[in-house]
Amino acid sequence: MTKPAQSFDADPSRQNAVTELLTQTPDAAVDRLQTLAEDLKIAYAPNTLRSWRADWRVWTDYCARSKCQPLPAALPALREFLVERINAGRKRATIEHYLATLSVAHRLALLPSPMDSMEARLMWRGLRREHLTARQRQAKGLTMDDIETIVGSLDLSLPRDKRDAALISVAFETMFRRSELIILRIEDLSEESDGSGRIFLASSKTDQESAGFLQYLSPETMSLVRDWLEAAKLTQGPIFRSTPRSNKADKYQSALSDRDVARIFKQRALQAGLAAELISGHSTRVGAAQDLMAANFSGAEIMRQGRWKTERMVVRYSESLSAGRGAMARLKRMKRSPSDKA
């Protein structure tokens, strides 16, 4: 249960900090909030803090243009901000992320969340019904067959192709997010006697306590990883790195970014002749979930493999398959005549 906001009088230093905050520039406001939230830097992953900072800048930039104060957020200003973001093409998930960040910022400043009131909730519900009723497009899944097609289309005598074959195969088997793939380290990779591998993910957005997660790699994927590391002469540090276009001394030093991962997935799918329009950095997770569901693994097993906290995304990713297994689909198959099956 969320604790109620404390009175400013209960902590004069926080009251002064908030007063300061209201008169500062957007960047300074972000810095001040981070100072107030020093403990959050320990409690939350760096990617979470970076996303909060980016969202806060979007909000404070709007406030500067509209000549309204960022804290506390006034409901009319918040409504206009949301409408502007919607008109700019932002999806519902992005808008909800802005609102979540604003709630965090207000609570750090010991102010009530702007979305706590019934008036604000009704406003947001109305905007959703009016502007955001269209179904958000889902990333296309890259299934096991797709992965084999992509890897089979690569020239594994080339270092870049070796890297991409290893990257795509690891992404599918581990179901790691792209932000997780880019932090995998050679030191956290081990090989078993049967040729399979184990890769340890030190931290992720669903592992705020950094307990880590050990994941399996098949012998085939482990072989691709070894080939890439040998070609790049890498023995420590990030596994997946950029490949140089010339023979420079500092080659293979720079780790891939999460944008690089998404670009590689889309580019390699297109080169393999697959429909790449909806391919994204999530496509290997989507495809793996679909394959696991098709093989009759339980929702709980798929959740553990993909490290989801609820079954919502598992259900979403597998809904096409579920529809094909539904009562009407089964009835039609049962009633289909032999001539129709031919």
Structural domains in the chain, CATH included, are 8-131 (1.10.150.130), 144-324 (1.10.443.10)
Q: How far apart are the first and last CA of the chain?
A: 60
Q: How far is CA 297 from CA 131, 213, 318, in A?
A: 37, 20, 12
pLDDT band at 2 (very low <50, low <70, confident <90, very high): very low
pLDDT band at 9 (very low <50, low <70, confident <90, very high): very low
Once rounded to an integer, what is the mean pLDDT over residues 263-272? 94
At 27-84, the pLDDT tens digits run: 555 566 566 656 666 667 777 778 888 898 999 899 999 999 888 899 999 999 999 9
Q: 33: which 2 tokens?
A: 């909030």
pLDDT of residue 43: 65
**pLDDT beyond 50 at 278:** yes
What is the Cα 27 distance to its own chain's centre?
25
pLDDT band at 322 (very low <50, low <70, confident <90, very high): low
Q: Which of 102, 244, 261 minimizes the C-alpha distance to 171?
A: 261
Alpha-carbon dihedral sign for residues 253, 255, 260, 265: positive
Alpha-carbon dihedral sign for residues 314, 319, 321, 324: positive
pLDDT of residue 22: 47
Q: 305: which 2 tokens?
A: 């493999």
Once rounded to an integer, what is the mean pLDDT over residues 118-128? 91
18 or 239, greater pLDDT: 239
Q: Which of 77, 288, 98 minimizes the C-alpha distance to 174?
A: 288
- Amino acid letter, residue 285: R
**pLDDT beyond 50 at 184:** yes
pLDDT of residue 254: 87
**pLDDT beyond 80 at 324:** no
Measured from the Cβ of residue 190, the count of other Cβ atoms closer than 10 Å reads 13
- Helix (H/G/I), strand (E/B), else coil: 99: helix
Average pLDDT, the chain: 81
At 133-165, the pLDDT tens digits run: 655 566 688 999 999 999 999 999 999 999 999
Once rounded to an integer, what is the mean pLDDT over residues 256-273? 93
At 190-200, the pLDDT tens digits run: 999 999 999 99
pLDDT of residue 5: 39
What are the residues whose beta carbons fall under 8 Å from the beta carbon of 214, sequence distance 6 or more?
198, 199, 200, 201
> Is the entire prediction scored with pTM above 0.75?
no
Query: SS3 sequence, 47-60?
Result: HHHHHHHHHHHHHH
Q: How far is CA 101 from CA 33, 50, 70, 282, in A?
A: 12, 11, 12, 23
Measured from the Cβ of residue 257, the count of other Cβ atoms closer than 10 Å reads 13
pLDDT of residue 315: 74
pLDDT band at 10 (very low <50, low <70, confident <90, very high): very low
- Cα separation of 108 and 97, whole Å? 17
At 161-178, the pLDDT tens digits run: 999 999 999 999 999 999
Segment among 112-116, 144-148, 312-316 with least mean pLDDT:
312-316
DSSP 10: G
Segment among 10-14, 220-224, 259-263 with least mean pLDDT:
10-14
**pLDDT beyond 90 at 341:** no
What are the residues whose beta carbons fall under 8 Å from the beta carbon of 114, sequence distance 6 or more?
72, 73, 75, 78, 99, 102, 103, 106, 120
At 20-42, the pLDDT tens digits run: 554 554 555 556 656 665 666 66
pLDDT of residue 334: 80
Once rounded to an integer, what is the mean pLDDT over residues 297-310? 85
- Amino acid letter, residue 13: S
Given a contact cutoff of 8 angstroms between Cβ atoms, the answer to whether 150 and 276 are in contact is no
- Cα separation of 222 and 275, whole Å? 27
